[in-house]
Structures are given as C-alpha cells and as structure tokens.
Amino acid sequence: MPIATVNPANGETLRTYEAMGEEETERRLQLAEATFRTYRTTAFEERARLLHRAADLLDEDRRSIAEVMTTEMGKPLGQARAEAAKCAKAMRWYADRAAVLLADEEPDPSDMKDSGASRVLVRYRPLGLVLAVMPWNFPLWQVVRFAAPALMAGNVGLLKHASNVPQTALYLEDLFHRAGFPEGCFQTLLIGSAAVDDILRDERVRAATLTGSEPAGRAVAATAGEMIKKTVLELGGSDPFVVMPSADLDRAAEVAVTARVQNTGQSCIAAKRFIVHTDVYDAFTELFTQGMRALTTGDPMDEATDVGPLASEQGRKDLAELVDDAVRSGARVLCGGELPEGPGWYYPPTVLAGITRDMRVHREEAFGPVATLYRAADLDEAVLIANDSPFGLSSNVWTQDEAEVDRFARDLEAGGVFVNGMTASHPALPFGGVKRSGYGRELSGHGIREFCNITTVWHGA
C-alpha cells in the first residue's frame, strides 16, 4: 500500500511519500536509543512541562489538524476537532498525574518484618524504545493515548502510522518537537507494514503497542513473543448494545444511532450488535431505524454532515460484502444497504434484522455504519447473544433494574460495561478488551504502567 493522502470523499490522491529506507530508519533508531539514555532520568516536572506545551500547541492547531484528518480519512470535521481537543485533555491529564501514578510504593511493614530488609520499595522505571503501530480511524487519539503516558513514564516512542494518514503522522512528530521534547523522544517512521517485523526484532526496541486488525495483531504478537518483548494489543470489536424492557427507549434509540455511526461507524468500540428484549423490540426498532434514516450523509467538510465516506475503497467493498452475504442468507434490510452512485467511498446508514449465526456479519466486525438487530426472549438469552462473538472490547446495557445491571456487569465478556450510556474512552479509565479484541490496557494508571519495569528495591537491615 503506498504511503499517500487519498481523499476518500472523491478518491483523489493529494500527496505521496517515499518510504524511509534502511539508512534513515537506522539513523532514527540510533537517535531514539541515544535520547533515551538521558531522557529517562529527567524529572516528572520537566516531562510535564513539555507535555503541557504540546497540549497547548495542539489546541492552537485544532482547526488545521482537524482539516488534515478529515482530508486523509474522511472523518466529519466537527468530530475531527473534538478528537484533537480530547488529545489535548489526555496530555494534560497524564502531565498532572504521572508522578503520583508512578510514585515509589512501600509494602506494608507488617508484611516485611520477616524479610530481613530494613526497607523495600517498588519502583516504576521506563523500558526504553516503544514501537507503536497505529490505525487510521482515530489518527490523533490512538497515538496520543499511547504517547502521553509513554513519554511521561520516561520512554521514547517510534510511530509506524497507517499508510493513508502520513500528514497526520508527520504532524505528531512535529508537535512533540515544537513542544521542546528532546530530538529522538518521538519519531515517525514512514515505512510500509512489511518493515515492521525487522524493527520489532531490533534489540533496541523493547516493547510494542498495536491498535488495528486481528491479522496485524497476530503478526506483531508472534514476533514479539519470539523476541520476548512486551506488547499491548487493541484489536477489533463487535460490541453489543443490549436494551431491556425498563430502558428509556427514546434515549436508548437516540444514543444507539450515535453509538453506531460515530466516525462513520469506523470505531472498534462502536456499538454494532443491537440486542433487544422481545417486549420492546418492535418499538425500539422503529425508533432506531427512523434515527438511522434521518442521518445526513455527505461531504465530511460540511458541518451538517453526520456520516462521511469510509476511509478506503477496500473498506467499503468489505462492508458491502458483509451486508450482501447477510441478505443472501435471509437478513431483512430496514434501511440503507445499497451502494450509492457517484464519487467517494460512501456507504449509507444501514439496519439489518433477522440475523442468524451462519451470517458472516454475526461473527465479523462491520467497520462502517451498519447495525445488526437481534431479538432476545429474556436476560439469559441477551447475555448468550452478546457473548456469542470472538470479540470482547466493550458493551452497552440499557436498563433501570439494578439486579440486571449486576448480572450484565458480572457475565458480559468485555473490557467495559457501560450502563445507560455510550461506550467512550477517558484518560482516567482503563481501556482494552478480552478474547480476540486483544490484551493489556491503555489509559489510566494501568496504561502508564504497561511499559514500565516494575522493580523491587530491597535494602538489607
């Protein structure tokens, strides 16, 4: 895949880039290693000052970088501005809290009285060079939620971004450079996917984080396992959105529409499978389908647009094939479902009912504005349907019954359970999944400690 900016609204190639060769890649690896030797000893106060400066610069650049993101991957412009603002918020959150999150810990003295130690500390030390392999769907946020904690922990970052968002990738390197971070603290590698394996095998690279597809995750995990290197993987998701009889149906349907089509439905934590109790199935389906039909699809630069184009021609083809397979197997199309004519990689908001286990869309992630509806006879069946997926990233539950809330929180196989609200990531909350959605956690204190050497420091009596 070429490294290029291709506008998904019209298919026009705007800029192309030459991939970095071995010599330039080696220069950057050497620089990163040299920088780490000194950056790892900087004080939290200095790291926080630099990260606050990066957040301020990002706020100043919010409109311009939003236009770049929209041009490169089709995100509606208002959502692109919101993404930039969220990144600045996360930077400040880690800048203000990292020193506390990574403070030395002392075990309870009563646990140590027979250890022969006068003092024991648990200390969090940086690992070194961390390779980040990042996707295009949230081209700023996915990177910042890795970079902010990694830099505050004293690590240095190497970014291999998706090949269709090179301008965003280069902006991120420039942002941290302008903020005053030492040269080599955060570098973008304009390389193809085939070059990732060699970099991950390099002894100077100590760990890797990947957000992306299941095949990409398998490849990185296999190499990292062979090389005994720490990884964090955030892969696909096919999140359930469960609606029970006590739910506020108007509010649930309204949020369901946003949860399905935010970022044109190209989000791992988007609600994708809507599992509705039979008592309210018809009413919810009508409200939800009306909401999906009412969305405005069009130019992502237009402030009135709700749904923009998919990021790539192949992405649209893959989504259309999932829908066509479901229809051939008996699914009913309640709205959408047909490729529009004209330029750009658009796909209409679509609702499918009558989903069965033999349909591909039941097992595979629909990465675009396509929703699948399921009817559940009771809570037990709702849990069974929700868990009948290879993925387990997050989940949504709509009910006013606290006993049902407890049951869903206990039994849903997911990294998050959001009750009467839409799944969202927040700097203070751990983010990640189970099953084929990956392992490890980003964000919160859990995320900043993922790439630390948790060291026991023992003092003799």
Q: How many whole angstroms separate alpha carbon 358 and alpha carbon 93?
A: 45
Sign for the CA dihedral angle at 348, 354, 356, 359 comes to: negative
Do 441 and 145 touch, CB atoms closer than 8 A? no
Distance CA 269, CA 417 (A): 11
Alpha-carbon gap, residue 430 to 415, rounded angstroms: 9
Residue 383: which H helix or E strand, with range? helix 379-387
Angle of helix 166-178 versus helix 141-152 axis, rounded to 10: 30
Catalytic-residue membership of 87: no
User: What is the rounded CA–CA span in Å between residue 248 and residue 85?
Assistant: 30
Structure-token pair, residue 272: 């994708």
Q: 């392999």: which residue's tokens? A: 133
Give the long-range contacts of residues 358-363, CB within 8 A, separation 24 or more.
358/329, 359/325, 359/326, 359/329, 359/331, 360/321, 360/322, 360/325, 360/326, 361/322, 361/323, 361/325, 361/326, 361/331, 362/388, 363/389, 363/390
Please pick, among 83, 173, 234, 450, the residue that the annotation labels catalytic: 234
Residue 240's DSSP bridge partners are 273
Give the Cα separation of 53 and 46 in Å (integer): 11
Apex CA 131: angle with CA 126 and CA 137, to 5°?
Answer: 120
Report DSSP letters for 103-147, one per residue.
--B---HHHHTTTTEEEEEEEEEE--EEEEE--SSSTTHHHHHHH
Rg of the chain in Å (alpha carbons): 23
| Alpha-carbon torsion (243, 249, 253, 255), positive or negative | negative
CB 33 within 8 A of CB 155: no
Contacts of 360 (CB under 8 A, 6+ apart): 321, 322, 325, 326
> Annotated catalytic residue: which of 72, 173, 185, 268?
268
- Active-site annotation, residues: 234, 268
